[in-house]
């Protein structure tokens, strides 16, 4: 099995990991292994379309309008008069 060394972990993070490990009745090292194993085994969720992502971010703020996707559409630059 491989080894991994992680340096410069904030003291607050280390303390939280120690508390979490105690709650689960195992060493901090085993707790970190379990966390890493679970994250590595998660299925990757494909990224949504940009317009949908932006709309999702602002939906709670009252955005009701659709934000259309630009993929496949010609984008014309803005024209400025001098």
Residues 24-73 pLDDT 10s? 999 999 999 999 999 999 887 777 677 777 777 877 787 776 666 667 77
Is the pLDDT score of 22 beyond 80?
yes
pLDDT at 67: 66
Say how far apart CA 15 and CA 70 lie, in whole Å.
46
Is the pLDDT score of 2 beyond 80?
yes
Q: What's 13-73 look like in SS3?
A: HHHHHHHHHHHCCCCHHHHHHHHHHHHHHCCCCCCCCHHHHHHHHHHHHCCCCCCCCCCCC
Annotated domain spans of the chain: 11-41
pLDDT at 25: 97
- Ramachandran region of residue 36, left (φ > 0), alpha (ψ -120 to 50) or beta? alpha
């Amino acid at each position: 099995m491989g080894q991994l060394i992680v340096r410069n972990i904030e003291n607050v993070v280390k303390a939280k990991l120690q508390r979490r490990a105690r709650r689960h009745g195992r060493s901090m090292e085993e707790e970190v292994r379990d966390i890493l194993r679970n994250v590595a085994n998660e299925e990757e969720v494909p990224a949504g379309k940009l317009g949908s992502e932006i709309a999702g971010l602002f939906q709670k703020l009252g955005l009701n309008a659709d934000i259309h996707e630009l993929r496949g559409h010609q984008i014309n630059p803005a024209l400025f008069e001098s």
